[in-house]
Chain A
Amino acid sequence: MDFLQPSTWDEALAARAAHPGAVPIAGGTDVMVELNFDRRRPPALLDLTRVTPLTEWGTDGDLLRVGSGVPYRRIIEELGDRLPGLAMAARTVGSPQIRNRGTVGGNLGSASPAGDAHPPLLAAGAEVELASVRGVRRVPVREFFTGPKRSVLAPDELIAAVWVRPSAGAGEQFAKIGTRNAMVIAVCSFALALDPARRTVGTGIGSAAPTPLRATAAEEFLAGALDWDSRGAVPPDVAAEFGRLVASAAAPIDDVRGTAAYRRHALSVLARRTLTWAWGGLP
């Protein structure tokens, strides 16, 4: 197996174009597991850890651009105030060792329905920046996933960054169900973003359908039902209906981690609870 180690972004894109079979590796916390289990036997690995810009983040206008190689630990420490939903999700990923290595770019690259970064990125309406020697494009996260572990990423493309609006006063929440209290793959998860300035609602559902997805009907219902002016308490029937709509947006299955019925039930509970927290937390 070849090990390609570009040190600049241009070299990385060139290598990606020249070696379509090479598997990009960032933190390696998914790739190495696949190799160890012999599920994959690629001709080459394309190591991205020397491409420094991937590990940087910054602001561009009113958006944040977070390099695909920023590990979870830094998202928690450096971006916790600006991207609270993503940071909450990052905190639930694996163990400290995994959070030190694992990246949002890798999570998107794997495109697992259980990837914890996906629901908050969906809820926040983020975009993924994809690049190749052909050029750069930005794809909304909601259009990124095409199936279980499949995405629009082209064989010659790399994930450069995600673009996301800092919450700046928005109410963001993330909650994840697991059958133990740490180090667990989501049975299901839910992210919510309330944007009082635009009076919009964003949602993201994880581990309850072939891909991460938004609960569009729930978003529209809630945006219309919330009393954005008075910010009065959310009426219980509104919260319940929101929960119901979120649950019905999911398409879960029975598997070793839980039943479809439980997933739907838990999503409705998480939707109600996160709504209360996010609404109550608005400045």
Chain B
Amino acid sequence: MTTVDASVRAGIGTSPRRPDGTLKVKGEFAFSSDLWHEDMLWGATLRSPYPRARIRGIDLTAALALPGVHAVLTQRDVPGAKRYGLEIVDQPVLAIDEVRYQGEPVAIVAADHPETARRAAGHIAVDYLELPPVTDPEAGELLRRVPVRTGDPHATADVVVTGEYQVGMQDQAFLGPESGLAVPAEDGGVDLYVATQWLHVDRKQVAACLGLPEEKVRLSLAGVGGAFGAREDLSMQVHASLLALHTRRPVKMVYGREESFYGHVHRHPATLRYEHGATRAGDLVYVRARIVLDGGAYASSSTAVAANAATLGVGPYEVPNVDMEASVYYTNNPPCGAMRGFGAVQACFAYESQMDKLAAALGMTPVEVRIRNAMTAGSRMPTGQVVDGPAPVAALLARVRARPAPPPSTLDSRELPGGVSNTTHGEGVVRGVGYAIGIKNVAFSEGFDDYSTARVRLELIAGEPAVLVHTAAAEVGQGLVTVQAQIARTELGVERVTVATADTSVGSAGSSSASRQTYVTGGAVRAACQAVRATLLARVGGADLMGDKIVNAAGMVVADLAEALGDGPVEETVRWRHRPTYPIDPETGQGDAHVQYAFAAHRATVDVDVELGLVKVVEIATAQDVGKAVNPLAVVGQIQGGTAQGLGLALMEEVQVVDGVVRNPSFTDYLIPTILDVPPMAVDVLEMADPHAPYGLRGVGEPPTISSTPAIVAAVRAATGKALGRVPIRPEHITA
């Protein structure tokens, strides 16, 4: 349980301290990798060294013979469904007769020491017949194609720009590797403590694979060390549970850093071919685009990623004629799935690069051409959906443009490209500025029944009113625990609020993804608080709760809150949904697919050492409409973090895969930005209420990641004059 600081009023719109903040800074926060149970065993996973192979046989003898080994299991030991998956049930719990990507789990071991478990895994003899991997998506099997067509497919225009763009495979690079603890229960079920993004979808899949009814699989959220989409799919959940049920002992599994690169999906690498047509005045006439996404070996959430890329693929612009197609394919590359931005990131890099090309062809500035074509409230998406909330696209661009330019860098090496590595004292350094804006859907789309459940109890504790909020919503570091407490305080006027640990003893909250939790679980907590309030008022015949007094319609006090609670606690559980969405037409992509749209704009200022190809991002100015900043500090944190993640994709982050094999599965060579890479950020938060959303709020988490990448690339292009059609940019792309 987490008690939120009660000494302040700390309702919505304030920034109370997060309960996990100090613990994390001091290294005292208990992550899922810190779980411990008496008598526990340690699990380990044997993974395929090959991207594609047939399994001719597995010999467990030597592994089982190792002292300290309690179980060695293969797919034969999976009692229920042998496959799982978020959208398509295609991924084996443990490889069945073949492996389809490097790192695919083949067998699992439980032993009394992690070292013994790892060694035992090494003693399993697998007889592989290597097969040539399919690594080019367009040579692979089609998983989903999403067309979006509107207007005249043969439209022509006076000014035409084309481009081909590529996005490399980005990793979520969370710091807390996949881990959890499975404890066998007396009823034959299992209690699973795990770091995940959605407890109930894990439960559904784990129960199916274990052949157990869902109520016998109980999940509690353990400390999550970052997620960013990488915890949407299962990793060790079924494995640890299988081992626990098999050995009748608690089993803990913790992936190592290298293993973690094989233990979760990545962002889809993409090739995007675009053609934009515009009038000489600069009005977009048409966009034609073909987006190819590499789905890797299993489906994960690829089908939804492709839908996002297609439906958001022209960006936040009014375009009368659109011929768009996003296709995702199976290959023998690492599976790809959810990552912050979810299909919108790849598309934004391409359409924003195109907008810059168009501006150049028209002789306009990048911001001019964008503002001229910016969508507004009431605009129609290429899917036919009307954007019925605020869409301050032009305003966001104007705001970042209006920010004062950062001063020239001093000759302090920490401010120069190359940093303390002393590669320049100013030689070759050229400044560049670039702009970008992006669009993202908030919450789940295409008719998905997207809801959250909240249980709220108002009661007297030691004579004082206190609130307990219980949801299954995963706190993944974004600050959701704090937000839930803020909402309860605002709705019930009670300062003392406790947020219970998320688990499956309450209904599903849906996923902590798609920028949706403050909207959907926030909406559920608010609705549950309102239900509690209604019940309480009915109890004493009151009409309103004013502070700690209950008043009647005439404004007369009828009872103290404490009095009213004297008869016992009031508890309500509410399942809350956002307004429905609808599937899109499979041929035309038409349909009201999305709940809400969110927008962010970035202006990047960079210094590039054009001779060495090294980049220093000097400053980023960003503006984002959040509808209502429920927790302003957390909002700024999301914007800074998301922007940094976009910077990583622009300049350094890539899982390098050659012939299906990952070349850099470590933080030695998968580089993420350090403090010398992340610049000061000027963050401008707009609050234009969305009439359809709780408190008018808008999802915050993903938009900053989307447009920061193309803004930085645009700035590097401005400094170097290079086309730079691929991210991450490498020094040799600039110097070649």
A257 and B616 form a contact (CB under 8 A) = no
Q: Does chain B have a CB within 8 A of A184?
A: yes
B731 and A262 form a contact (CB under 8 A) = yes
Q: Interface-forming stretch among B218-226, B432-440, B671-679, B700-708?
A: B671-679
Q: Interface-forming stretch among B131-139, B391-399, B415-423?
A: B415-423
Contact among B730, B735, B736 with A179 in the assembled complex (CB-CB below 8 Å): B730
Contact among A37, A177, A269 with B258 in the assembled complex (CB-CB below 8 Å): A37
Contact among B418, B664, B731 with A258 in the assembled complex (CB-CB below 8 Å): B731
With A175-B423, A177-B614, A180-B677 known to touch, is A258 a contact of B671 (CB < 8 Å)? no
With A265-B735, A266-B612, A266-B731 known to touch, is A257 a contact of B669 (CB < 8 Å)? yes
Chain B's interface: helix, strand, loop or mixed, by majority?
loop
A174 and B422 form a contact (CB under 8 A) = yes
How far, in angstroms, from A257 to B663 measured CA to CA in the complex? 10
Q: Does chain B have a CB within 8 A of A270?
A: yes
List the B side residues contacting A185 at CB < 8 Å: 668-669
Size of interface on A: residues with Cβ below 8 Å to B: 31
Q: Does chain A have a CB within 8 A of B28?
A: no
A1 CB to closest chain B CB (Å) equals 11
Q: Does chain B have a CB within 8 A of A183?
A: yes
List the A side residues contacting B313 at CB < 8 Å: none
B671 and A269 form a contact (CB under 8 A) = no
Q: Does chain B have a CB within 8 A of A176?
A: yes
User: Which residue of the partner chain B has the closest CB to A88?
Assistant: B422
How far, in angstroms, from A185 to B420 measured CA to CA in the complex? 13
A262 and B421 form a contact (CB under 8 A) = no
A92 and B671 form a contact (CB under 8 A) = no
Size of interface on B: residues with Cβ below 8 Å to A: 37
List the B side residues contacting A259 at CB < 8 Å: 732
Q: Which of A24-47 contact B (CB under 8 A)?
A: 37-38
List the A side residues contacting B674 at CB < 8 Å: 180-183
B422 and A92 form a contact (CB under 8 A) = yes
Q: Does chain B have a CB within 8 A of A197?
A: no
List the A side residues contacting B675 at CB < 8 Å: 182
Contact among A174, A262, A273 with B735 in the assembled complex (CB-CB below 8 Å): A262
Q: Which of B598-614 contact A (CB under 8 A)?
A: 611-614
Interface of B toward A, CB cutoff 8 Å? 118, 258, 414, 417-425, 427-428, 611-614, 616, 651-652, 656, 663-664, 668-669, 671, 673-677, 730-732, 735-736
How far, in angstroms, from A179 to B258 measured CA to CA in the complex? 20
B118 and A38 form a contact (CB under 8 A) = yes
Q: Which of A170-206 contact B (CB under 8 A)?
A: 173-185, 187
Chain A's interface: helix, strand, loop or mixed, by majority?
mixed
Contact among B258, B422, B732 with A176 in the assembled complex (CB-CB below 8 Å): B422
Q: Does chain B have a CB within 8 A of A277?
A: yes
Q: Does chain B have a CB within 8 A of A261?
A: yes
How far, in angstroms, from A176 to B732 measured CA to CA in the complex? 15
Contact among A38, A88, A177, A270 with B731 in the assembled complex (CB-CB below 8 Å): A177
Interface flags for A242-283 (1: CB within 8 Å of B; 0: not) read 000000000000001111011001100110010001000000
A181 and B422 form a contact (CB under 8 A) = no
Q: Does chain B have a CB within 8 A of A82?
A: no
Q: Does chain B have a CB within 8 A of A91?
A: yes
A176 and B656 form a contact (CB under 8 A) = no
A263 CB to closest chain B CB (Å) equals 9
Contact among A88, A177, A261 with B418 in the assembled complex (CB-CB below 8 Å): A177
A273 and B423 form a contact (CB under 8 A) = yes
